Amino acid sequence: MKASVSLRHAKRPLAVMAAALAASVITLPTAQASSHREAPFITTSPKVDGTDFYLFRSYEPNRSAFTTVIADYQPLQNPGDGPNYYTMDQDALYEIHLARDGHATEDITFQFRFQNTLKDITLPIAGKNVSIPLVQAGVIGGQNPALLNVRETYNITMVTGDRRTGTRIAVTNSADGTSTFEKPADNIGDKTFGGAGAYATYAAAHMYGINIPLPGCTTPGRVFVGQRKDPFALALGQVFDLINLNPLATTQTNRDYLAQKNVTSLVMELPTSCIVGTSPIIGGWTTASMRQGRLLSGNPASGYSNVPKQGGAWVQVSRLGMPLVNEVVIGLKDKDKFNSSRPSADTQFSDYVTNPTFPALIQTLFPTAPAPTNFPRTDLVAAFLTGIQGVNKVAGGTPSEMLRLNTSTAVTAMTAQNTLGVLGGDAAGFPNGRRPGDDVVDVTLRVAMGALCVATGTGDALGVGCRPSDAPAGAAALTDGVPQNANMFLNAFPYVNTPLTGAP
């Protein structure tokens, strides 16, 4: 249920909405932090904090037959945070879930497990071999270099059916059939990787072709896991300081708080024909889970880290589908509960969608932007829980929060993408899935304040159950003042940018 409230409209209503939104401009910043530190418990476990989730048809040239999924974890990584960097939690379970045909339960799950191995590189000092204090002993490059002191690897298991009880099979390297993949070290600095720009080449050596173990799926996909520049953009501090920005400025440029931050990305490119069902519409979300029991050792043995003893069932602690849901939709008391929930149980959070507080808060802070008056907010139900009629809604589907992608919608090339996605007339963009360049904050603001009601005109072509008169500020071109567009990113897998270097 991420606050990326729906902007899904059929092509004819899109033109109506675009014209209506051009009528006025109110620059309201929003909580564009997507899912960085969004719930009380997850702040204590940043390694399993999912920050953003993307689902889109691949727009790399000649790859339109594939669908790309990106799940970002570990928020607010500072470049140069050494000597220990941002390894993944080897005692956690990271998952990407896909649901077919409007289901609220997963049909396909990709599970990632990580292994961190200390090589314990030593140097001879006065006749004694002494362990070095760093994660590198010199310039490194390629896969598993000898001078890299900590080796990170991972395995991927595909589960069909229920993620805990379904059929499990290993995902393998399409080049050699192996099931262990190397994760590149974080971008420590230029000298470590052999010079300016060398890290991009080093990271590219960790992109793999993979076999997708689904019946009849003979076309390999691709995977990459590693540190990336955080693709999200927001005026984080100002936004959560009661939207401490000028809401009436016709133009403004605010500081992107994440401009100097990295994240860790799990990126998969999957043959679309292998993952769809009877409908071309798929749903997706990511979760992270930890073991129920954990016991710390008071006298840890030598090793890479004080690994606690783990036991019990997996407990889900992070969940992310649409952006911003847990930040600006779910009440503070239920944020941890939402992170532990599954889409099939989302009716328990329905009041937050049908009677949202975020628009009322905006109205309180900025009375010139009155909140919509239609209750229950059936337009937000469509946005968050069902998909938009004519865009990405499956007839008879189960209401549940997740990103929904209509894979039959034609791909928009990077240079032609509209940053507002469907709202800007680009049917291949958010909320029909989500691409890195989609400005989900601006879209979310506008839909929260009733843009879908305005788009219906005198009828209800979108099937959202409201009218323009229900949304006095529904035509306002709301924005947070932080730019976001496709040209800021790569035009090829893995799409998200090379991480910022820790040192020149």
252 burial level (CB within 10 Å; 0-12, 13-18, 19+)? middle
What's the pLDDT at 295?
84
| Domain presence at residue 45 | yes
Tell me, yes or no, whether 144 lies in a domain. Answer: no
For residue 68, being part of any structural domain is answered with yes
**CA neighbor of 440 nearest in space, from 58, 3, 61:** 3
What distance in Å separates the CA atoms of residue 236 and residue 2, rounded to the nearest whole number?
17
Q: Is the overall model pTM greater than 0.85, yes or no?
A: yes
Count other Cβ atoms within 10 Å, centred on residue 180.
Answer: 12
In this prediction, residue 27 carries a pLDDT of 36
Q: Which of these, 215, 206, 216, lies nearest to 175 by C-alpha position?
A: 206
Alpha helices in 117-235 (DSSP H): 190-193, 198-204
Residue carrying structure tokens 């509209």: 418
pLDDT, position 150: 95
Q: Is 313 exposed, middle or buried (0-12, 13-18, 19+ CB in 10 A)?
A: exposed
- What radius of gyration, in Å, describes the C-alpha atoms of the chain? 23
- In 3D, which of 453, 417, 415, 451 has the Cα closest to residue 432? 417
Instruction: Determine the pLDDT at residue 142.
Output: 94
Report if residue 23 sits inside a domain: yes
Q: What is the pLDDT of residue 3?
A: 34
φ, ψ dihedrals at 114, nearest 5°: -110, 150
Domain count, the chain: 1
Q: Is 98 left (phi over 0), alpha (psi -120 to 50) or beta?
A: beta
Q: How far out from the chain centre does Cα 467 lie?
A: 32
**Residue 95: inside a domain:** no
Domain that holds residue 286: 11-86+171-488
Q: What is the pLDDT of residue 242?
A: 65
| Region of residue 289 (phi > 0: left; psi between -120 and 50: alpha; otherwise: beta) | beta
Query: Does 420 fall in a domain?
Result: yes
Residue ranges for the chain with pLDDT beneath 50: 1-33, 247-248
**118 assigned to some structural domain:** no
> Distance between CA 376 and CA 281 in Å, rounded?
26
Give the Cα separation of 18 and 12 in Å (integer): 11
**pLDDT computed for residue 478 by the predictor:** 83
| Separation CA 470–CA 419 (nearest Å) | 26
Phi, psi of 396 (to 5 degrees): 80, 5
325 occurs within a structural domain: yes
